[in-house]
Amino acid sequence: MSLVWCSMSELALRQLDNELWEIPIGSVPGMRVPGRLFADAELLAAIERDHSLEQLGNVATLPGIVEASLAMPDIHQGYGFPVGGVAATEEPDGVVSPGGVGYDINCGVRLLALPLDVDALGARREPLVHELSRRVPVGAGGRGAREGVAGADLARVLSLGPRALLEDLGIGTEADLELTESGGRLPEADPAAVSARARERGASQIGTLGSGNHFLELQAVERIYDAAAAAAFGLEPGQVTVLIHSGSRGLGHQVCTDFVKRMDAKLAGYGIRLPDRQLSCAPIGSPDGQAYLAAMAAAANFAWANRAAIADRVRHGVARVLGVATARETRQVYDVAHNVAKLEEHGARRLCVHRKGATRAFPPRHPEIPAAYREVGQPVFIPGSMGTASYVLTGREGSMRRSFGTTCHGAGRRQSRTAVRKSVDGAALRRQLEADGIVVRAVSSRGLAEEAPQAYKDVDNVVAVVERAGLAARVARLRPIGVVKG
């Protein structure tokens, strides 16, 4: 067992095995459980450059937290919780914390598989990327804020998620719902718990991509690692796919804002003391805790509907460039959520599992996996960056024993947006990506620079740690051939 001192946080990490490190109880005053991190030495060197490990120790002070506060190998500094953080709390003392979910509630990814390979796509690749960028509104404001799905009933979307779009507007299919985590709906949702300001911000944003790290990426299956799982997911070598990364847009951001402020004002009344007020929280069973869970669930349903509407626009773009038959056969592989707090059964315990920048990774035969995938495990998607690979994986039993059925959601930032803008010229980056065979459509060179590949950790390394730790196993590697950024 080795001891490593982390430079920025000045915390001592104890190595438990090749992929697991621990912040011992007592390292941060008030810790109730240890903090644990999945990483190797190379990733640890990148992780310790910010204050994410200090945040991991702070999370371990939350009332009712069980076993450990956890961090995935893509961990980086966030609001309250680190991005890549996981915490499970248990009633009667357990709390729910909006900082443990984040501002982009149910930011997540949806993978679509087209019925053709990259060779058959050929010269139509650039027209397809252009058509997708034309059809899917992007950006924090501008046209992306004005071009949501017309006729969508917001209250029904908040309550039912993408099923409301299917029943009311014919958007999506029953198969899409089946192949979405939780069927695309958290039943605890209560539209009345969502503020008028949040509704106003989200009303016109269903079917819009947003900005920041959100993207729509055209990819090709570069390598298959698990033939049986790939066959179950409908993936073949060379196949063209589309990966959609977006969330709850302004509505989710406002829900988080509303409840951080509300819970911060109530901390003393609940007798809760925290090392960081960004961890503001309330007991799960309290009126404030229940109201947050109801509003968060509504925002999560909105996010699933948003990705369903984006997928519908993708299919229309495919129809325009590749034909109606190709669009009709463009199928959804799966849709997974990041940034949620879910009430789950883990053994004899009913826990509130916060996953912030982390995703479920349930193993084969878990009852919540769609029947078509139950024997191979839940699909997991770990995107890299727009210049590197993304991975499809399956959940493994180790995730249930070690991380409450969770793995990471991406490569994870190694540089802040401000820092990377100082070293990367967006126009030059665009030229380099296109020279590498990646068609780029982006609103601004500045936004492109913020998401430069060098701003992220090595996704191959991150995935290797996940696999060695037994959280998930590789199925396929996808390489980018086109990207649309906000």
Q: Name, in order, each residue with C-beta under 8 angstroms of 94's C-beta and a sequence gap of 6 or more.
A: 62, 63, 64, 65, 66, 283, 284, 351, 352
Which residue, 9, 43, 119, is CA-closest to 412? 43
Q: In sequence order, what DSSP letters do the residues of 81-97 get, joined into one string?
A: SPEEEEEEEETTT-EE-
CB 444 within 8 A of CB 429: no
Tokens 């409450």 correspond to: 404
Amino acid found at 41: A
Distance CA 447, CA 363 (A): 37
Distance CA 255, CA 129 (A): 33
Alpha helices (H) in 170-286, listed in sequence order: 174-178, 196-202, 227-233, 249-270
Question: Under DSSP, is residue 336 helix (H, G, I), strand (E, B) or coil?
Answer: strand
Distance CA 218, CA 179 (A): 20
Q: Name, in order, each residue with C-beta under 8 angstroms of 263's C-beta and a sequence gap of 6 or more.
A: 97, 98, 280, 281, 282, 288, 292
Distance CA 355, CA 264 (A): 21
- Does residue 409 have an active-site annotation? yes
Which residue, 380, 10, 369, 418, is CA-closest to 178? 369
Of 214, 245, 253, 409, the catalytic one is: 409
Which residue, 358, 395, 394, 381, is CA-closest to 478? 381
Enzyme catalytic residues: 409
